[in-house]
Structure 1
Amino acid sequence: MGKKGNSVSVALPETARLVVPVMAATGGSARSTVAHLLADELAAAADTVVLDLAPRLASPWHTWSGGDQVPGLAGLPPDQPLTRRRIRDAAAVRQAPAGQWGVLTDGREWHSAPLNLPPEPAAWYQLAAAGGWQAVVADTAHPIANDVLVARCSGSPSLTRAWCDLPFAVPILCAQATADGMQTLQQAVMVLHAEGLPLQRTVVVLAATADGRPPAVVRAAATMLSARTAAVVHLPHDPDIRANGMQAQPARIRARTRQAARELATAVLAAVRESFGDPLPDAPQPAPLPAVPAAV
């Protein structure tokens, strides 16, 4: 269970920005589903966008969002100046129970050449900031434990650390609520702890694969993780989401699934305020460019 309340009631200040990288140690951990449900709830508290970092043919967002109806990421060439209007127009729009939110994804046909997207979290942060969004949910695609270990052995930068180091970031770790899922998650947590990454402001989501009470190994792991992280949220099994993904009709999503999503959003907002202050400080602004003397 999350450590805090179960309703999203306080909006973010207009000048604040929250970053939520949704990560996992392995595929099949419900990252995209968690990102979608979280955006649904954060839309009531902030102007929200989901950044789809997965390659086009490994991502569900094109189908979920109707991404082919907007320019998407292909409409934002990296070698040209971008206005806020152009960035906003590139985002698909999803309706939430209270409001709406945007999705920046690659909405082109499957046979299109892959986009050359920057891996650096700072580049995605800059894009979201230029678009004027307050809450940035990043649906990441890299396996966190392997990423951190490779970085440690090679001396290269870690994507996981770079996401955690962004201003006002609250990471989410997802895992299946199974024995194998718990073993993988606990191993990842040990890796993150060894590297000094911010577990104290990290929220864990355990996604159930069936109805009923979580197995004993999952309950034991949740108890252990509750003492080391900001919160642990149990995402129940939802047959309609399992069958249809997030194309599911909102009215058919179970009430307890919506309740878990509210608990998750509340835990994220509580973690960012406890870590960085309440109210949340203003988001950093780019430094102005120095004036260029006029040519004589």
Structure 2
Amino acid sequence: MKQLKFECPECGTEFTLTANQTKAKERIEALKKAGVDVSELFAMQSADGLEFIASKRDGVISILEEDDPIFQAIIIQGTIPNRQLFRRWVMAQMFRIIYIATNTHGAYKPIGVSEVIHSMGYEYQWKMLNNELYAQHKMMQNGDVDNFRDRNRWFNKRVVLDMAKDYIEKLKKRFDELKLRKCKGIPYKRINGQNIFVDDFDKKVIKPLLFAVHKIQHSENTYELWHSVQEFNKRRIKMHWDTPQNAAWLDAYKGSGAFFTMQNMIRFHNCVIIDDNGKTLGKNASLAFLNKKAKLYENREGWRLIGMLKKMLDDNNIDVVAKMKEWRK
């Protein structure tokens, strides 16, 4: 280790730190692969050629020391237990859904996973989709190809188009079933507080939505897809809370939730997979087996991973209720 002194060219702050020959860019890449947001990190090099990692946040530059806990955690297990990571939130959400779907609550009968997700309401799928596409766009901006691939497997242009077309069909059906009214002899219907003449429905409501679908279909990158979905949402008339969610979205939601939950259990909770032949796999083999199954089920069969998740919970003696109580602490 060597003592280094330098002055920041931007703010004039003088630093003294230790550094070694480890490549700073490689360490940043390791952080990125572990799921850490590295958008504020950058590599710096002294006149001697020694490298270290600096972070700039709110105009203040700081240095990640050699014994930083993040680096130590990566060295020990290859990943880091960051509670703010997306996959941590997904795991907690899936445990809650599974608990509700299996707990009898006394005299009440258990409900299925689909029914629990349905209870979140129709509009939830659009809010969730918008956040997901924005996150994917930021990943591509930051060059986080691995995490983008895992998440885009489930929520992608194919799913978005299915959702949009399904919404238009549901809207048409809803409008057809509305009570017919008349204003000076001209028929109209009232939907979500809006009065729409029957003759104007296709021209003023449906055609703008179809134009937005066209933009979704021809989006060429993550920004265009996210932005075109925002445009579609601005033109949408909100649906009733109990309107059935889109089947493609529901499958993607189940597949994504189960995939990231199992990935998280393997990485951070010492869980393993027992494969189709009854063989207990190690950590790396378990992750490889999970990725293989995810690829197999990524096209409208993500729901199968829910069964795989439940089996994994049983195989590893994971008590969902106990885990939820542990996280509440």
- Tell which has more relative contact order, 1 or 2 (C-alpha 8 A, sep 6+): 1
Higher helix share: 2
| Fold similarity call, TM over 0.5 | no
Bigger radius of gyration: 2
Measured against the shorter chain, the TM-score band is under 0.3
